[in-house]
Structures are given as C-alpha cells and as structure tokens.
Amino acid sequence: MFQNKTLHRPSSNRPSSNRQSYDTKRPPEKEMVFGLRAVIEAIDAGKVLDKVLLRRDMNSSIGRELQTKLEGTATPIQRVPVEKLNQYTDKNHQGVIAFLSPIEFYPIENLVQSLYDEGKTPLLMVLDGITDVRNFGAIARTCVCAGVHALVIANRSGVAINGDAIKTSAGALYSLPICKVDNMQNTLQYLRESGLQVVAATEHTDRLYTDCDFTQPTAIVMGSEDRGIYPLNLDQCTDKVKLPMTDTIESLNVSVAAGVFIYEAIRQRS
C-alpha cells in the first residue's frame, strides 16, 4: 500500500486561520479549466471532463446553469470548500475547476457488443477502487502488451485519468479502450448477463487462479490493496480465485497480481 506524502503548505502573506488545510498536487494548467463560463463552454464544445470541483455554497444563476449542464453528463462532481479550490490555482476560479481527460471513454455496452460482433472472446480488466496512479498505469501497460480488450474503472471512486496516468502507463492509455462506469455493481451484472464470467481476484477462496477457465469470455476484477474488492461487487462475481501465497507476505502489489492473472488468461487462450 502506498503512503501519501504530506506536502508543506506554501508560505504566503495570507493571515493565518484555523481552517482546514488541503494538501494537493497541482496539475499543469493545461489539464484544467476554471471559471464558470469557461467550464460551460468546455462542456458545450464536447470536451471530456475527468471531474469537476464546485464550491460547496455555489448558488449564483450562472452556477446553477453550470450544474444543470453537468447533470446531463457522466462527469463526477465534488462539492468542496473554497480552500480546496485555492490549492489548485491562484487565479480567479469563480468557485469551479474542471479537470480535462486526455482520452475518450467507451460505453461498456457498445464495447462488449462490438467485441462479440467482431468474433472476439472478450477479456476485460475491471479495477474496483484502485486510486494509485502508478498501479493504474502499470496495469494499463500490461493490458496493452497482453492484448486485453478494455479496462473498466468506476466513475467516482477510481483513479484520475490525467497526465500522470498517461506517463506511468508509458502512453498505453492512448491505445487501450477505457470504460468509466457510474455503478460497478450494475456493470458486473451486465457483464454476467452478456455471457462473461466475472472472476474476482480475492484471498477469500481456496480456488487457485490456474483452476479457472480463462478461454471463456472473461472479466477479471481486481480490488485495491488495502481493502480488496467491495463486498457488494464481490457478490456479483461468478468465480473467486487467488494466487498461491506463503505466510510471510499477505498479498502482492496489485499491478503485479493483475499481470499474473492477465498472462495466465493469455497462456490458456494461446
């Protein structure tokens, strides 16, 4: 499990206060759009937004116009104190910052159907709650190298797709279809109903990963290192398998474990 490093608050001439501080890593300004009218124009222009931060007490008429437009998209919205917004930029953000996604996202229903139409046996990697950009980038790179058809992540609880994610994937995210879904439980149910076996990587089983038949249409589900797969999502899985482990270490790094599962699937299919 990776530990988040605490950043020192930059010195400023602002008066001190007892308000909560927010430690953030500022992305390049080219990855952000801030200002109410600018974000509205970005939505109207069809820009893909990874997420939007809105000032918690936003209540102006143009603020309501923006919120109405966002309701028509799948973009996650976080309502935050103004201090959080100030950590990302010193410019006049007017209570809103939108983060641009460098890639397009694929609807999961269209992607699965197109794979079947092309005569392919779907192999998908589903990430449940993985937020570390280094693990995400490493998994994406393995998916591309092995020929996994798509990567599925949660809209609100998954990793941010930004410049850091592109860099850690060595550019793999540009060539790997990514599906962002609003409800992981419904998505896993849809995959089952579409003929895929949904295989959970979990230690809560006696069945080894080599006992699974990966030649079938398959979605492999990986959970985060600290808590694994959410219980309600685990209930949606059709099979549960694990890697053999000694008693010394409880689990592998999630990107390493994902690589083992992926290449076992490729070995069986070849």
| Domain endpoint, select from 69, 100, 131 | 100
pLDDT at 248: 67
On the question of pLDDT at 56 being above 50, the answer is: yes
**pLDDT tens-place string over residues 10-29:** 433 343 444 444 445 677 77
Give the DSSP H or E segment for 170: none
DSSP state of 12: -
The CA distance from 101 to 47, in Å, is 8
| Domain endpoint, select from 82, 100, 118 | 100
Domains of the chain: total: 2
Nearest residue to 46 (alpha-carbon basis) of 27, 77, 73, 67 = 73
Amino acid identity of 2?
A: F
The CA distance from 88 to 65, in Å, is 23
pLDDT at 24: 57
pLDDT at 249: 67
Average pLDDT in the 3-10 region? 39
On the question of pLDDT at 31 being above 50, the answer is: yes
Least confident of 20-34, 54-68, 72-86, 231-245: 20-34
Contacts (Cβ under 8 Å, ≥6 apart) of 98: 32, 33, 34, 39, 42, 49, 51, 52, 53, 75
Do 146 and 172 share a domain, yes or no? yes
The CA distance from 102 to 115, in Å, is 24
Q: Which domain holds residue 262?
A: 108-269
In a domain, 226, yes or no: yes
Do 46 and 165 share a domain, yes or no? no
**pLDDT tens-place string over residues 125-135:** 999 988 888 99
In a domain, 7, yes or no: no
Q: List the beta strands (DSSP E) in 81-196.
A: 96-100, 123-128, 150-154, 178-181
Percent of the chain with pLDDT over 90: 46
